[in-house]
Amino acid sequence: KCNRRCRMNEETGADYLKPWQLSECLDGGGVGVVESSRCTSCPEGCVVTSFNWPWQTHAVMKGGALQKVDPQLVDGHLSYFLGAVGITGLTALLGVREKGHVTKGANQTMVVSGAAGACGSIAGQIGRLDGCVRVVGICGSDDKCRALVEDLGFSAAINYRQDDVCARLKECCPDGIDVYFDNVGGHISETVIAQMNKGSHVILCGQISQYNKDVPYPPPLSVETQNALQRNCITRERFLVLSYMHKAEAALCELSQWVKSGQIKVLETVVNGIENMGVAFCSMMKGGNVGKQIIKISD
Ligand SMILES: NC(=O)C1=CN([C@@H]2O[C@H](COP(=O)(O)OP(=O)(O)OC[C@H]3O[C@@H](n4cnc5c(N)ncnc54)[C@H](OP(=O)(O)O)[C@@H]3O)[C@@H](O)[C@H]2O)C=CC1
Ligand SMILES: CCCCCC(=O)/C=C/[C@H]1[C@H](O)CC(=O)[C@@H]1CCCCCCC(=O)O
């Protein structure tokens, strides 16, 4: 079994995230301020983040398990450390840079699936900043499509729940597709790959449409799509952000500058109060968020 609901299944084959345990506090990415401390490296008042932040209003945590961050990097907007200037931004930036082969002046077209989610909304903007002349997003509602084009500067957006994805891709990508940032997998990705140019590149970021299925990661493709990859010399290599953490510091500086200068716009769906954590989590699992899903516990 290799699905990627790593926190909600005993055996996923992923070694980077362990399942939540019954009767133990749930955890996830979090950021906050130290209220009192016996740790010299994390004194009172400093801002810290962790991938294993307990879902509590207050928590006693080991200093060694926390990463100190500089609020100036996000102009005080601390939730950005969980998204655009955190693991999400790193996934988008390093995914594009390591696997996308985006080249300025090469007249490339990028397609992003899951484009209005946390990673996709940043990845498309990075594609544009790095030199793609056209960036097309695929997502699940007209409101999300509007946000991609009007707020984030995508060239076009396709609502996969309503539009004919194949026909709309042909319209929006008249020169074919050179780079595909794939967050979702399944039939959407097979439709995109069928329109990819010779020597083009798939950034295999995630396959969220397949995560509830009992299939290996990455999930198998149809024979037709495998043939298209081979015939057109399309690369499709597995990408995991944790394999590139030695590049994180420089990448976070770059993301911070782009966010502070407004060249990257950040979308967040913010829900207030720890009592709404469960509702927000379930909404996120159904695509209810535009940009990063954030729960604000306190000021
Ligand atoms: N490789 C790596 O190192 C990492 C990979 N990831 C992967 O990146 C991807 C995006 O994660 P992230 O942006 O944080 O998550 P989000 O939940 O913010 O966004 C994912 C989006 O995918 C869309 N989606 C969900 N189910 C389907 C489906 N069945 N078909 C089509 N679209 C669907 C949803 O929007 P809608 O359907 O409305 O468009 C949703 O908003 C995931 O696959 C995740 O596993 C994340 C972190 C690191
Ligand atoms: C310990 C910090 C984890 C940081 C990496 C990360 O963010 C991974 C998160 C996964 C989570 O389990 C749910 C997901 O959707 C995330 C991505 C998993 C898909 C990537 C698969 C890559 C691979 O295993 O090759």
State the ipTM, two decimals: 0.94
Question: 128 has which bridge partners?
Answer: none
Q: What is the mean pLDDT of the chain?
A: 96
Task: Report pLDDT digits (tens) over 48-85.
Answer: 999 999 999 999 999 999 999 999 999 999 999 999 99
The verdict on 233 and 253 lying in the same domain is: no
The verdict on 142 and 189 lying in the same domain is: yes
Task: Report pLDDT digits (tens) over 101-147.
Answer: 999 999 999 999 999 999 999 999 999 999 999 999 999 999 999 99
Residue 44 structure tokens: 């009172």
The verdict on 147 and 133 lying in the same domain is: yes
Residue 235 structure tokens: 């690369």
Q: Is 263 helix (H, G, I), strand (E, B) or coil?
A: coil
| C-alpha of residue 40 to centroid of ligand 1, in Å | 38
**What pLDDT is stored for residue 56 in this prediction?**
96
Stated pTM of the model: 0.97
In a domain, 58, yes or no: yes
Q: Is 245 in the pocket of ligand 2 (CB under 6 A)?
A: no
Q: Can you give the CATH number for the domain in which 211 is found?
A: 3.40.50.720
Task: Report pLDDT digits (tens) over 183-210.
Answer: 999 999 999 999 999 999 999 999 999 9
The verdict on 32 and 119 lying in the same domain is: no
| C-alpha of residue 226 to centroid of ligand 1, in Å | 23
The verdict on 114 and 236 lying in the same domain is: yes
Residue 109 structure tokens: 């077209």
E-assigned strand segments in 78-183: 109-113, 134-139, 156-159, 177-182
Q: Are strands 268-272 and 177-182 parallel, antiparallel or unpaired?
A: unpaired
Say whether pLDDT at 27 is over 60: yes
Last residue of a domain, one of 242, 268, 284: 242
- Please give the Cα distance from 144 to 204 (Å, whole number): 22
How many domains, the chain?
2
Q: Is 117 in the pocket of ligand 1 (CB under 6 A)?
A: yes
DSSP symbol at 147:
I
In a domain, 95, yes or no: no
The set of residues, in sequence order, having a beta carbon less than 8 Å from that of 268 and lying 6+ positions away, is 79, 83, 291, 292, 293, 294
In a domain, 7, yes or no: no
**What pLDDT is stored for residue 2 in this prediction?**
57
In a domain, 11, yes or no: no
- Please give the Cα distance from 145 to 190 (Å, whole number): 21
Domain that holds residue 260: 27-86+248-296
In a domain, 263, yes or no: yes
User: Which candidate, 292, 295, 299, places its Cα nearest to that of 117?
Assistant: 292
